[in-house]
Structure 1
Amino acid sequence: MNKKQMIGSLFGLGLLTGAAHASTDSVEQALVMVNSGELQTQGMAMVLANTMQAQGTHVDVLLCGKAGELALKGTENAPLKPKNVTPEQLMMKLKQGGANVSVCALFLPNSDKGKTALRAGISVAKPPQISQIMRDKNTRFFSF
């Protein structure tokens, strides 16, 4: 029995916690989809995405619905404690670290905004590309 099989058996028997099991797997690529308009949810999504990126995971972020407003130049939310940063600041840190950040393809057409309203480096998602990322067996999908 190899190490992964043994850990799987122990996990199945309830002898190991989920955290111990998860530590044996490395996430190479993550797609973080943020739909919530709630600031703390947006902030936590960005905190976790930044943490994954710092641990070596390539992160793609897809902003849909109310969360798409984070991508707009004019959006300035109140800072969140304890670090006093906004979700959009955390999002731009991700971008600077190499993450791809995009708004859903339906976001701009269903608002009164055009592409020029987006922050620098943020694009409009192309469904075939997002679908390919989602279908990739090495990608983990996280939704907030």
Structure 2
Amino acid sequence: MKKTLIALGLALGIGAAHAQAPQPVTVILNSGSTMTQGIALVLANQMQEQGAQVHVLLCDQAGDIALRDAGGEALKPNDVTPAQLLGAVIGKGATAAVCALYLPNTGHSAEALRDGVTPARPDAMGAAILEAERKVLVF
């Protein structure tokens, strides 16, 4: 009986520790569509609020929302732009990067990126995407 209780306690302890580990999520966003950008970042914010560790990778036209001077169309019902949604997810601890192709193919420099956004390293991104426990969403 004592061994059973110890085993049960260890199992519950391991389960509790595992449950507290944040779920890693990578959101890859390349669409130029304001609504697609918006929903991707709304979901990223929601996953983050539910305990996920979120990383956002922006490429192609979506990389434009990572620029310091990004504007954009405000989306209803909260009248926020995708750039503002990106700022919110970064402000809550998400990491964000533009793909390795974005800067050299748009003529922008790393200095043009907003605070909290860096150029991605393909080797690091490839390794992260291969992590068995990581969820990857592409928009």
Which interval holds the TM-score relative to the shorter structure?
0.7 to 0.9
- Aligned-residue CA RMSD in angstroms? 1.2
Q: Deviations over 1:83-134 (max 9, x none)?
A: 1111111111110111110000010001121111100121000011111110
- What is the TM-score when the length of structure 1 is the normalising length? 0.80
The amino acid across from 2:75 in the alignment is L
Q: CA deviation at 1:27?
A: 7.2
Larger Rg: 2
Greater helix share, structure number:
2
What does 1:10-29 align with in structure 2 at a 5 Å threshold?
28-29=23-24
Distance 1:27 1:34 in 2: 21
Instruction: Indicate whether 1:109 and 2:108 are aligned.
Output: no
- What is the TM-score when the length of structure 2 is the normalising length? 0.83
Query: After the TM superposition, which parts of structure 1 deviate over 2 Å for at least 4 consecutive aligned residues?
Result: none
The amino acid across from 1:140 in the alignment is K
What does 1:1-144 align with in structure 2 at a 5 Å threshold?
28-144=23-139
Q: CA deviation at 1:75?
A: 1.4
Q: CA deviation at 1:74?
A: 1.6
- Provide the residue aligned with 2:15 in structure 1: none
Gaps of 5+ in 2: 1-20
SS of equivalent residue, structure 1 residue 75: coil
Identical-residue share of aligned pairs (%):
41
